[in-house]
Amino acid sequence: MAATPAHPASDNAPHVPATPLHDLMYGHIYASALRAVVLHGIADHLADGPLSAGELAARSGTQAGPLHRVLRLLAMRGLFRTDPDGAFGLTEGSEALRTGVPGSRRDAVLLFTDAMYGRSAAGLEDTLRTGEPGFEAAYGTPFFEHLAGTPDAGRLFDTAMSSLTGGVNEQIAGSYVFPDGGTVVDVAGGRGGLLRAVLSRSPGLTGVLFDRPGTVTDHLLDTAELAGRWRTEGGDLFTAVPEGGDLYLLKNILHDWPDEDCLRILATVRRAMTPGTRLLVIDAVLPADGSPHPAVPLDIVMLMVLRGRERTAAEFEELLTRSGFMVRRVLPTPSLTSVVEAEAV
């Protein structure tokens, strides 16, 4: 009879690490697991310290076994940590999944793991053949028209964009020397996060937040510090934008659109400006040599959902030159984006 081993069998031998192909193959599984824990508020339940899967399950209305397995998967990517006693705790990454904390990415996770993006991604096979966005094939309408006609989707998009750009707005505002006086017009500026950061840094400036009427209604500018220094205006950036500004901003707008629509937007902005007025195009600027850049995945989102693209500095310069602008310089920021400074000629 074989001797009984002194200790239970275990498999602690090193294994072949997952390859990039393996990680890509399972990408949708990680995204689905991430969405599930956000929807069940797992990070919020861990705010006061680590909990076992059983304790988490009781608090979140989930099943301990499946929850343990999902958290174990996400812990492999550093999104949660596992204590020696088996309890799960927060890491820097999962802190950003909490509701209402500075730098929260909860709404952004819910947006980019939403069925809108999943169905669009599933259409990439056809997009490669037709060049048409998977979103339009799935929903039968352009993305922004869908948002305008679907209030819940529109609100999710707006809150996700605000969550993604909170700290980024401060980085952008600190990377460019804004004038001490005058009026800055934030064109399609969403809820006004960038404009708020700019006005906070430059007390002599006043500002105009321009976007869809439903978006500017939910603005972020009503603070004591900025009292009397801003106004909002609703409208269509393809038709007209507020005139008389001393500086115009277009942040993360041109990458949403193909070249012909970018030219229409820039022509509208140029009509509102006098010669010598500055325009800041704030977008990712891809390297001309094709080297890696963190905005390359975002370029595929544009391909799936919209008809836009991320561009190189030369591509931005061509659009701006054709629209009556002269590019003065391109300034990097600590964020994903750069500042392309142009002047109306």
Other beta carbons within 10 Å of 84? 5
Q: Is 289 exposed, middle or buried (0-12, 13-18, 19+ CB in 10 A)?
A: exposed
If asked whether residues 197 and 335 sit together in one domain, one would say: yes
Question: How open is the CA angle 290-333-198, to the nearest 5 degrees?
Answer: 140
Q: What would you report as the CA-atom Rg of the chain, rounded to the nearest whole angstrom?
A: 24
**117 in a structural domain:** no
- Which member of 40, 146, 219, 255 is catalytic? 255
Q: Which of 75, 98, 121 is the last residue of a domain?
A: 98
CB 53, CB 62: distance < 8 Å: no
Q: Which of 98, 119, 150 is the last residue of a domain?
A: 98
Of 15-19, 60-64, 101-105, 254-258, give the lowest mean pLDDT range.
Answer: 15-19
If asked whether residues 183 and 284 sit together in one domain, one would say: yes
Render pLDDT for 100-155 as a digit per residue (tens, 0 to 9): 998 899 999 999 999 999 999 999 999 999 999 999 999 999 999 999 999 999 99
If asked whether residues 173 and 322 sit together in one domain, one would say: yes
Distance separating alpha carbons of residues 264 and 268, to the nearest angstrom: 6
**297 in a structural domain:** yes
Q: What CATH number is given to the structural domain containing 196? A: 3.40.50.150
Q: What is the largest CA-CA distance in the chain?
A: 95
Classify the phi-psi angles of 61: left when phi > 0, otherwise alpha if psi is within -120 to 50, otherwise beta.
Answer: left
pLDDT at 12: 65
Distance separating alpha carbons of residues 231 and 249, to the nearest angstrom: 15
Name the percent of the chain lying above pLDDT 70: 96
If asked whether residues 199 and 316 sit together in one domain, one would say: yes
**200 in a structural domain:** yes
The question of whether 7 is a catalytic residue gets the answer no
Average pLDDT value for residue range 214-240: 93
H or E element: which one contains 186?
strand 182-187
Residue 178 reports pLDDT greater than 60: yes
Render pLDDT for 12-48 as a digit per residue (tens, 0 to 9): 667 777 788 988 999 999 999 999 999 999 999 999 9
The phi, psi pair for 106, rounded to 5°, reads: -55, -50
If asked whether residues 73 and 175 sit together in one domain, one would say: no
* Identity of the residue numbered 88: F
How many separate domains does the chain show?
Answer: 2
**281 in a structural domain:** yes
Distance separating alpha carbons of residues 194 and 216, to the nearest angstrom: 13
CA distances for 144 relative to 131, 149, 212, 250, 299, angstroms: 18, 9, 11, 17, 17
pLDDT at 147: 93
Average pLDDT value for residue range 74-98: 95
pLDDT at 5: 52
**HEC assignment per residue over 47-110:** CCCCECHHHHHHHHCCCHHHHHHHHHHHHCCCCEEECCCCCEEECHHHHCCCCCCCCCCHHHHH
The SS3 assignment for 180 reads coil
> The tokens of 114 are what?
């939403």
> The tokens of 299 are what?
């370029």
Distance separating alpha carbons of residues 210 and 192, to the nearest angstrom: 9
If asked whether residues 320 and 228 sit together in one domain, one would say: yes
If asked whether residues 226 and 87 sit together in one domain, one would say: no
Residue 300 reports pLDDT greater than 70: yes
Average pLDDT value for residue range 162-177: 88
pLDDT at 7: 54
- Can you give the pTM of this predicted structure? 0.86
- pLDDT level of residue 6 (50, 70, 90 thresholds): low
Q: Which of 98, 131, 151 is the last residue of a domain?
A: 98
If asked whether residues 310 and 181 sit together in one domain, one would say: yes
What's the distance, CA 309 to chain centroid? 14
If asked whether residues 92 and 185 sit together in one domain, one would say: no
pLDDT at 10: 58
**188 in a structural domain:** yes
pLDDT at 304: 96
If asked whether residues 291 and 195 sit together in one domain, one would say: yes
| Helices H / strands E in the chain, number of each | 17, 11
Distance separating alpha carbons of residues 249 and 241, to the nearest angstrom: 11
- pLDDT level of residue 215 (50, 70, 90 thresholds): confident
The domain in which residue 317 lies consists of: 169-344
> The tokens of 154 are what?
């529109």
